[in-house]
A and B are shown apart, each in its own frame.
Chain A
Amino acid sequence: EAQVTQNPRYLITVTGKKLTVTCSQNMNHEYMSWYRQDPGLGLRQIYYSMNVEVTDKGDVPEGYKVSRKEKRNFPLILESPSPNQTSLYFCASSFESRGTEAFFGQGTRLTVV
Chain B
Amino acid sequence: EDQVTQSPEALRLQEGESSSLNCSYTVSGLRGLFWYRQDPGKGPEFLFTLYSAGEEKEKERLKATLTKKESFLHITAPKPEDSATYLCAVQAGASYDKVIFGPGTSLSVIP
- Residues of A at the B interface (CB closer than 8 Å) are 4, 31, 33, 35, 40-45, 48, 50, 56, 58-59, 90, 92, 97-107
Which of A31, A58, A99, A106 is the one whose CB lies under 8 Å from B49? A99
Residues of B bordering A, CB below 8 Å: 31-32, 34, 41-46, 49, 51, 87, 89, 91, 95-104
User: Cβ of A59 and Cβ of B43 under 8 Å apart?
Assistant: no
Q: How far is the CB of B73 from chain A (nearest CB, A)?
A: 15
Q: Do the beta carbons of B43 and A50 come within 8 Å of each other?
A: no
Assembled-state Cα–Cα distance A33/B101 (Å) = 13
Is there contact, CB below 8 Å, between A107 and B43? yes
A99 lies within 8 A of B91 (CB) = yes
Name the residue of chain B whose CB is nearest to the CB of A39. B103
**Contact present for A44 and B44 (CB under 8 Å):** no
Of the candidates A4, A42, A45, the one whose C-beta lies within 8 Å of that of B103 is A42
- In the bound assembly, the distance between CA atoms of A106 and B38 in angstroms comes to 11
Given contacts A45-B98, A58-B98, A99-B51, whether A104 and B104 have CB atoms under 8 Å apart is: no
Instruction: Give the complex CA separation of A77 and B60 in angstroms.
Output: 40
Chain A hits for B41, CB < 8 A: 107
A45 to B51, CA, bound (A): 21
Knowing A50-B97, A97-B96 touch, does A106 contact B43 (C-beta < 8 A)?
yes
Contact A102 B101 (CB under 8 A): no
Selected from B43, B87, B101, the residue in CB contact (under 8 A) with A44 is: B101
Closest CB in chain A relative to B34 CB, distance in Å:
7
**Do B87 and A98 touch across chains, with their CB atoms under 8 A apart?**
no
**Could you show 11 A-B contacts with beta carbons less than 8 Å apart?**
A4-B43, A42-B87, A43-B44, A43-B87, A48-B98, A58-B98, A98-B96, A101-B46, A102-B34, A107-B42, A107-B43
